[in-house]
Amino acid sequence: MSKIIIFNKDENLSEYYQSAIHGLYDLETMISQHENYSPELLKDKDVAIINYDHKTSEILTKYCLETTPRIPCIITGTEEQIFYAKKKFKTHGLLEYFTHHDSIELLWQKINRFTELHKRTQKKKEFCKVNLSFFFSTKTVFCDIYLKVNEQKYIKIFNRYDEIDFKDIKKYDHKNIRYLYVRERDFSLIMKKLVEELQPIMTSSSQALTISNKSLSSVFSIQLQETVSESINKLGLNGEAIEMTNLAINSTLELIQSNDEIFNILHDVIKGKNYISEHSYLLTYISCSLLKESPYSDPDNNLCLSIAAFFHDISLDTEAKAKVQSTDDYQFKILGIKEQEEVLEHPEAAAEIVSKISGIPSEVQTILLQHHENYEGTGFPRGLDYKRIHILSAIFNVAHELALYFFESGQDPQNVRDIIDDLSQKYKKGNYKVAIQAAKKVFRLKTSASSNLKKVS
């Protein structure tokens, strides 16, 4: 049972919060209305709800900021009080805010997030996911393999050096299990092994890797993106991740260039099971298609858009964060403070990762830094409007909108035409106008190929 303490000198407000919390959760709550605060009150508590005003105890504030590990806090008050509280608590990493006029459901969500976080942190995260298909051709496992039961429980299903049969793995596929797990310390071995197995289908060509095997599919590229994302988030950027990135991007570009009816392939691939990886793949195709119909069509620009699509959400670890398009989105507002910061900072985070890879064109960093800027100038991180957004960024951003639409709503031809018409009314100037004119050409050509597509679920 989670323990919550409420600091509020207003008896009525304290009782209101206590009854509201008990209305949804079986939690142990304690109310403190004393001005003379004692640090002992916070011992063994999972969450502190603090009503902030100019009389809030400095000792309480100091203790919340300096205690280790940090105690998650939800600061309540008027909008003016919250404004000053944000300055006071700006160095606190586990923080939420709740104004008195906010919906009580929002408070429940914030409490639930912290209590779930507390449960997860009781057990250190030690596992990395590996796509099940990686093991299809494996005869001997070189590390322990686990099945995930829940966030706290992993069951070992294969021991290091066990000999396994294809049927041993396929039975998990029949149960719709997409990932098995290995310990973090073994994940780098998985990466190296995968790169070794891919070497026969890769050829060296001066400074870049090209694909010599036509059988490489879009599914393969998506799985590589998943693996690279997991590696960068858990282990940081390494040589294997860079090699796999090259392979994934080049295989995607080759597939795009060799198949004008690729929407038919996307119908088989975009299943809604892994938004970040599938969205990145879809974004590669749409952005390159728009570029092809623009005055800026060029192989180097194609590569820039593909790399940007691969890396644009690489630092985000959940679908909820990756689906946020603007700070006005409801999905953004219900995120925690720390999660909101991760969303706002991820354009720079992606650009920073790419900057460590030699030979990447500078335009890629520009696209990554600008992929959440918008036509009106209300985006992030810099609030650039259409007059200051690079042409490749504008093409990428229009493709980003379309990719999100396709992922969530399918690709019905009439709906495609309607969304393009809506965007045409919105984007009438600058580089965005160039991008939307290209989109009109692309989807006039492609709607017949997409007419048999079903809604993504």
Indicate whether 183 belongs to any domain.
no
Indicate whether 204 belongs to any domain.
no
- 361 versus 411: which is more confidently predicted? 361
Indicate whether 243 belongs to any domain.
no
Give whole-number Cα distances, 344 to 237, 341, 347, 390, 401, in Å: 21, 5, 7, 20, 18
> In this predicted structure, which of 236-250, 382-396, 415-429 has the lowest mean pLDDT?
236-250
**Domain count within the chain:** 2
Indicate whether 232 belongs to any domain.
no
Which residue, of 121, 138, 173, is where some domain finishes?
121
Indicate whether 189 belongs to any domain.
no
Rounded distance, CA 56 to CA 50, Å?
9
Q: Rounded to the nearest 5 degrees, what angle is found at the Cα of 41, between the Cα atoms of 39 and 44?
A: 105
pLDDT at 258: 62
1, pLDDT greater than 70: no
Rounded distance, CA 188 to CA 329, Å?
37
pLDDT band at 407 (very low <50, low <70, confident <90, very high): confident
- pLDDT, tens digit, for every residue of 10-46? 778 778 778 777 655 557 777 876 555 556 666 667 7
Quote the mean pLDDT of the chain: 79
Please give the helix or strand (H or E) that residue 331 lies within, else none: helix 330-333
- Identity (one letter) of the amino acid at 357? I
Per-residue burial over 176-186, b = 16 or more CB atoms within 10 Å of its CB, e = otherwise: eeebbbbeeeb
> In this predicted structure, which of 77-91, 200-214, 376-390 has the lowest mean pLDDT?
200-214
SS3 label, residue 34 = coil
Indicate whether 228 belongs to any domain.
no
206, pLDDT greater than 60: no
Indicate whether 332 belongs to any domain.
yes
pLDDT at 6: 80
- Mean pLDDT for 374-381 is 96
Q: Among residues 5, 10, 18, which one has the least CA distance to residue 78?
A: 10
- pLDDT, tens digit, for every residue of 281-305? 889 888 998 999 999 999 999 999 9
pLDDT band at 262 (very low <50, low <70, confident <90, very high): very low
193, pLDDT greater than 60: yes
The boundaries of the domain holding residue 293 are 259-450
Which residue, of 64, 95, 121, is where some domain finishes?
121
- Mean pLDDT is highest, among 4-13, 39-48, 256-265, 316-325, for 316-325
Which residue, of 89, 121, 153, is where some domain finishes?
121
Based on the fold, state whether residues 115 and 263 are members of the same structural domain: no
Burial class (CB in 10 A: 0-12, 13-18, 19+), 266: buried
- Strand-pair partners of 208: 205
* CATH, residue 388: 1.10.3210.10
HSE (side-chain half, CA atoms, 13 Å) at 315: 18
Percent of the chain predicted with pLDDT > 90 = 28
DSSP symbol at 44: T
